[in-house]
Amino acid sequence: MKSTLNRRATQMLASLACGACVLSLSACSSLGLSEAKPETLFGLFTPYRVDVVQGNVVTQEVMAQIQPGLGRMQVREILGTPLLADPFHTDRWDYVFTIDRQGVPPQKRRVSVFFKNDAVERFDTEALPAEREFVAAIDKPLLRPEPTLEMAPEQVAKLPVPAKVDTTRKLPVGAARDYPPLERGQR
């Protein structure tokens, strides 16, 4: 009889544990929290993410300065130090730019400059934005509307009247001091 009770108790505990697991796993979807973005906490809080900017910003205006025949030092002055300078491919410099900001889609751009006899032979790049387009692309939208800085007429009427200020010009008054003469005998 004891073995039957023990067996039933363990079966009951096992079925309760399975039921608790099923209920706890289905509870998240019943609250609508499963549809929350994965980077949010319960769909309510978004943790702070650090802005990550890597590489050299290269725009249309900067690339317009790169022409075949420029030397390595001239390219370095215009574009900066390459992010990737492969020791096995010394005639190729790669400029990679990535930016990842919270609230803005991540961006990645790549420019490759090929040299022949230490002069630019050619360069490969995808479509680059103009400087204004680049700034607009990384600008974060405001999450809240800007507050209006105007007061309603009834709010202005409730303000205290400012104290009258004397607007007449007065001559500055300094300290009244009488110093002895710097040289003796003259006064």
pLDDT in tens, 155-176: 888 989 888 887 777 776 766 7
- Both tokens of 88, joined, read 């096995």
Domain boundaries, the chain: 2-35, 52-138
Nearest alpha-carbon partner for 52 in 102, 94, 103: 102
Contacts 24+ apart (CB under 8 A), 124-128: 125/58, 125/63, 128/58, 128/59, 128/60, 128/63
Contacts of 179 (CB under 8 A, 6+ apart): none
Q: What is the pTM of this model?
A: 0.52
Q: Are 102 and 48 in contact (CB under 8 A)?
A: yes
For the domain spanning 52-138, the CATH number is 3.30.1450.10
CA 51 to CA 140: how far, in whole Å? 11
pLDDT tens for 8-57 read: 878 877 887 777 766 666 655 545 544 555 566 666 777 777 888 898 88
